[in-house]
Amino acid sequence: METKTLEQSFSAYFNAKPEFIVRAPGRVNLIGEHTDYNDGFVLPMAIDHAVWIALTPRTDFTVCIRSLDLDVDSVFDLQSLSKGEGWSEYIKGVAYFLQKTGYELKGFNAVMTGDVPRGAGLSSSAAVELATARAFAAGSGFAWDAAQMARISQKAENDWVGVNCGIMDQMASAASRKGYALFLDCRTLEYQHAPLPENSSVVILDTSTRRGLVDSAYNERRNQCEEAARWFGVKALRDVSVDEFEKRSGLSEVVTRRARHVITENARVLEAVQAMKVGDVQRLGELFNASHVSLRDDFEVTNEALNQIVECAQSQPGCYGARMTGAGFGGCAVALVHAESTQEFTNAVSAAYRKISGLDASVYVCKASEGASLVEGENRT
Ligand code: GLA
């Protein structure tokens, strides 16, 4: 994204130069799926697809923001926020919970644009939320606290927009570092930046399938995990080790499988971080593959297209491992590929997937990007 283009759009609309430009990325999860709402571990990375906002603060409480992609604007008053419909609900929700937490906000004039594919499971909504939080931090002059901003953004998504997500997407967008994945403890929100293996590429494979009713299936999985935690007598499944899990029996068959996924997935994340530290890309790939099997057979959140694209990916030379990523039921898979094989890999997977499914995949070779940041302008904190 050229900040020049964004500046020009702002100028065309507001007749002045913007004072700030902020950016917040989408994310892909490398491993640790459906573990965040079990107080567990995740390993996402911010991708080089993001949302940008150019803004100038106002002296009153009005927010006037234009979506360049949708070609519409939204105007609202920070002192009388009420729920409505559409893209600006993410912005209003973040504003509402920032104020509720005690932040004093100024209004702003802004234009917004983004290139995170929508609805693909790459957290375009978290990118909008964190870009909004970053815009308010710059415009209203308060310090950036990644974990706090992620929590507020999650609250906006849960209680304003009404989507029951965990904390992973918002933390990945808020706290990631260029060139690294984010190893996050979803209970404490402590994190470390884990180095990505050298000579390898992270490739996102969008199946182009989208499934409705994801929300209800997602909530059903959450309820099953809570049921398992109650049965084990712990706060969350994070508190059950693989050994403890194997010693116990008597939980219903389906809930046992759900719990097994979460418990083994947490162990896989810890092992993946170790593998990354020592540069063992083979092992990392194996963990990707094992994660997919667990999500397919135990957690049952894949669909046929995801299974097909993962198999197409895994059977290519140069592929260390592949798995579905995100909530599942459609959307994207992620593959770890030898850098030199990347071009061949993307061509071969696209062709093989088209042959087997009749569908066209979108493929993104991704770089790990920086979390939410101020791209232009001086923070006045
Ligand atoms: C969605 C949610 C996340 C997480 C994943 C599954 O992306 O937004 O919080 O639960 O599903 O790992």
Please tell me the distance between residue 14's alpha carbon and the centre of ligand 1 in angstroms.
37
Which has the closest alpha carbon to 88: 141, 132, 138? 132
More confident residue, 2 or 328: 328
128: pLDDT strictly greater than 80: yes
Q: CB of 37 closer than 6 A to ligand 1? A: yes
- Say which DSSP state 159 is in: I
pLDDT at 211: 78
Closest ligand 1 atom number to CA of residue 37: 10
Please tell me the distance between residue 276's alpha carbon and the centre of ligand 1 in angstroms.
22
For residue 104 the two structure tokens come to: 């004093």
CA angle 194, 197, 202 (to 5 degrees): 95
Please tell me the distance between residue 100's alpha carbon and the centre of ligand 1 in angstroms.
25
Q: For this structure, is 69 an active site residue?
A: no
Closest ligand 1 atom number to CA of residue 33: 12
List Cα–Cα distances, 83 to 103, 122, 226, in angstroms.
Answer: 20, 25, 30
Q: Residues 291-324: pLDDT tens digits? A: 999 999 999 999 999 999 999 999 999 999 999 9
Please tell me the distance between residue 5's alpha carbon and the centre of ligand 1 in angstroms.
33
Q: Under a CB-based contact definition with an 8 Å cutoff, are residues 223 and 258 in contact?
A: no
123: pLDDT strictly greater than 80: yes
For residue 259 the two structure tokens come to: 């719990």
Q: Pairing between strand 62-67 and 108-114? A: parallel
Which has the closest alpha carbon to 47: 363, 374, 376? 363
For residues 76-95, average pLDDT:
97
CA contacts within 13 A on the Cβ side of 205 = 35
Give the mean pLDDT of the chain: 96
Please tell me the distance between residue 378's alpha carbon and the centre of ligand 1 in angstroms.
33
214: pLDDT strictly greater than 80: no
Spatial distance between the Cα atoms of 121 and 209, rounded to a whole number of angstroms? 11
Residue nearest to ligand 1 atom 2, measured at CA: 165
CA contacts within 13 A on the Cβ side of 287 = 23
Q: CB of 34 closer than 6 A to ligand 1? A: yes
3-state secondary structure of 287: helix
Mutate to test the pocket of ligand 1, among 30, 31, 37, 41 (most ligand atoms within 8 A of CB): 37
325: pLDDT strictly greater than 70: yes
Q: Pairing between strand 72-77 and 180-185? A: unpaired
Q: Under a CB-based contact definition with an 8 Å cutoff, are residues 309 and 205 in contact?
A: yes
Label residue 355 left, alpha or beta by phi (over 0 means left) and psi (-120 to 50 means alpha).
alpha
Mutate to test the pocket of ligand 1, among 47, 124, 161, 168 (most ligand atoms within 8 A of CB): 168
Percent of the chain's residues with pLDDT above 70: 98
2: pLDDT strictly greater than 80: no
One-character DSSP codes across 113-143: EE-SPTTSSS-HHHHHHHHHHHHHHHHHT--
Please tell me the distance between residue 168's alpha carbon and the centre of ligand 1 in angstroms.
7
Q: How confident is the model at residue 72 (pLDDT cuts 50, 70, 90)?
A: very high
- Residue 64: how many CB atoms within 10 A of its CB? 17
pLDDT at 380: 65
Percent of the chain's residues with pLDDT above 90: 94
Q: CB of 168 closer than 6 A to ligand 1? A: yes
Closest ligand 1 atom number to CA of residue 167: 9
Q: CB of 165 closer than 6 A to ligand 1? A: yes
Catalytic residue among 60, 71, 115, 169: 169
Question: Which residues are 206's β-sheet partners?
Answer: 332, 362
Closest ligand 1 atom number to CA of residue 218: 11
pLDDT at 378: 84
pLDDT at 379: 74
Domains (range + CATH), the chain: 3-196 (3.30.230.10), 200-366 (3.30.70.890)
For residues 135-161, average pLDDT:
97
Q: Residue 180, Cα to own-chain centre: how many angstroms?
A: 15
Q: CB of 299 closer than 6 A to ligand 1? A: no
Closest ligand 1 atom number to CA of residue 29: 12
pTM of the model: 0.97
- Listed in order, strand segments (DSSP E) in the chain are 20-31, 41-57, 62-67, 72-77, 108-114, 180-185, 191-195, 200-206, 319-324, 332-338, 362-366, 373-376
